[in-house]
Amino acid sequence: MSAGERVVHDGLRLTSYLGERDRDGAGRTVDQLLDRFAERGVAASALLRGVAGFGLHHALRSDRLLSLSEDLPVVAVAIDRRERIASLLDDVLAVQRRGLVTVERAWVSGAPGPFDREGQRKLTVLVGRQARVDGTYAYEVAVARLRAAGMAGATVLPAVDGTRGGVRRRARFLSANADVPAIIQSVGDAAAAERALVALDGLAVPRTATIERILVCKRDGVRLAEPPALPDVDPAGAAIGQKLVVYASESARHDGRPLYAALVDQLRAAGAAGATVLRGSWGFHGDHAPHGDRLLAVRRRVPVVTVIVDRPSRIGRWFAIADALTSETGLVTCEAVPGFSAAGSDAGHGGLALADLR
C-alpha cells in the first residue's frame, strides 16, 4: 500500500473519567462499564489507571500519599464506528453517576482510499500489552516507526483491563497478559500520520487505529499556537468542550517538584473542572529518543500525560498555567470535544448530543 491510499471509517471515541472505587448496588462502576463494552461488541476499549487527579468537587487523588492513593482516578476509553458508540451512551450514563463523560469524533483506520492531508493529527493505536514482533515488544516497534515517520511525540499507556472485538481482556497476576491492551497515543502533522499508518501496516499483531484532529500548541518550550476560541454551546444548545493534553517525562521538574504534580496543584487551586494524570511505560516527545523505565534508575524516565477537559471559555486560563510550567520541556496539544457531560447530571452541559463545531 502506498502513502495517500487509505480510507477511514466514521467513528467515535467515548471516554469516561471517574474514580477507581466508584460503585453502586450493582458493583464497581468500572466493571460495569467494561461489561457493557463487551456485551455491545465494542471494537476496542481500555481501562487506564491514573496516578493523580481531581474532578468537579476538587478532591485530590494521588499515588504519592498513602491516604490519597486508595481511590485513584481511572479512564475508560471505547472506540468503534459511530453507530455502535452512539448506542452505548444511554448505558454509560445509566451506570456512571460521577465524573465526566466525553465523546469525540475519530476516524477508524480501514481499507485503502483517500487520506485527508490537512492540519495536525492524533494517531492512536491499540495493541496487546505483551505482544511481540520478532522478540521485541510491539509497542516499542510501533513507537520507533512513529518517530521515524516524523510524529512529534508518542506515549504508551498500559491498560489494566479492556476489550477487543467484544471479548474482555483483564490483566491477571502470574499471566503474560498478552491480550490486555496498551494504548499508543501519538501526535504530529497529517503527512507524518499518513506515513505512520503505512509504516504500522507491517506490524504483524492485531491492532486498532484511530485518527483525530488536534492542534499542537507547544513543543520543547516553544509556543506554536494557542487554543482556538470556541463557544461553550452550539446553536442548538449542545455543549462544547476543549481538551488540553500535556506530555512530559516523569523526571521533569518545576521548582524541585514533579512537573505533573505542580500542574495538578495549580489547576486545582485555580478552580479547573478537573485533571487526570496517566503514567506511560515508553515513548518520546520532541527530539528525544524513546525512553521508559530502567532498572535502578534514580528518577523514572517514563512519560506522563496530563489531561484537562473544560468549557472553551475557561480553557485559556488552564493553558496559561500549562504554558508557564512547560517553559523548557513538554508537548502541549488542544482538541475540541463535541460531546461533554458531567456524569449523573446533564444540567448546563447539554447532555451527550454531539455539538456542531462548524
> Per-residue pLDDT tens for 190-246?
999 989 998 998 788 888 889 999 999 999 999 999 999 999 999 998 899 999 999
- How many domains, the chain? 1
Please report whether residue 356 resides in a domain: no
In a domain, 59, yes or no: yes
Segment 119-138, tens digit of pLDDT: 899 999 999 988 999 999 99
Which among 357, 346, 114 has a CA at the least distance from the CA of 231?
Answer: 357
Instruction: Look at residue 300 and tell me if it is in a domain.
Output: yes
pLDDT tens figures, 30-48:
999 999 999 999 989 999 9
In a domain, 177, yes or no: yes
50 in any annotated domain: yes
Q: What is the 3-state secondary structure (H, E, C) of the chain?
A: CCCCCCCEEEEEEEEEEEECCCEECCEEHHHHHHHHHHHCCCCEEEEEEEEEEECCCCCCEECCCHHHCCCCEEEEEEEEEHHHHHHHHHHHHHHCCCCEEEEEEEEEECCCCCCCCCCEEEEEEEEECCCEECCEEHHHHHHHHHHHCCCCEEEEEECCEEEECCEECCCCCCCCCCCCEEEEEEEEEHHHHHHHHHHHCCCCCCCEEEEEEEEEEEECCEECCCCCCCCCECCCCCECEEEEEEEEECCCEECCEEHHHHHHHHHHHHCCCCEEEEECCEEEECCCCCEECCCCCCCCCCEEEEEEEECHHHHHHHHHHHHHHCCCCCEEEEEEECEEEECCCCCCCCCCCCCCCC
- One-letter amino acid at 21 equals R
Q: 348: pLDDT confidence band, cut at 50, 70 and 90? A: very low
Q: Is residue 306 part of a domain?
A: yes
Q: In whole angstroms, what is the distance from residue 21 CA to residue 16 CA?
A: 14
Q: Is 349 inside any structural domain? A: no
pLDDT at position 307: 98
pLDDT of the residue at 346? 43
Hey, what long-range contacts does 198-202 have (CB within 8 A, 24 or more apart)? Answer: 198/1, 198/2, 198/3, 198/6, 199/145, 199/146, 199/148, 199/149, 200/125, 200/142, 200/145, 200/146, 201/1
* pLDDT tens, residue by residue, 246-257: 999 999 999 999
Structure confidence at residue 183 as a pLDDT band (50, 70, 90): very high
Amino acid occupying residue 143: V
Average pLDDT of every residue of the chain: 86
Higher pLDDT, 169 or 213: 213
Pick the most confident of 94-108, 225-239, 331-345. Answer: 225-239
pLDDT at 90 over 80: yes
Give first-to-last CA distance, the chain, whole Å.
33
> Taking 70 as the threshold, does the pLDDT of residue 113 lie above it?
no
State how far the Cα of 292 lies from the Cα of 90, in Å rounded to an integer: 39
Which of left, alpha, beta for 246 (phi over 0: left; psi -120 to 50: alpha)?
A: beta
Residue 22 forms part of a structural domain: yes
CB atoms within 10 A of CB 278: 25
Q: Which residue has the higher pLDDT, 202 or 160?
A: 160
Range of the domain at 104: 8-341
For residue 286, the model assigns a pLDDT of 77
At 50-61, the pLDDT tens digits run: 999 998 888 887
- Owner of C-alpha cell 479512564: 75
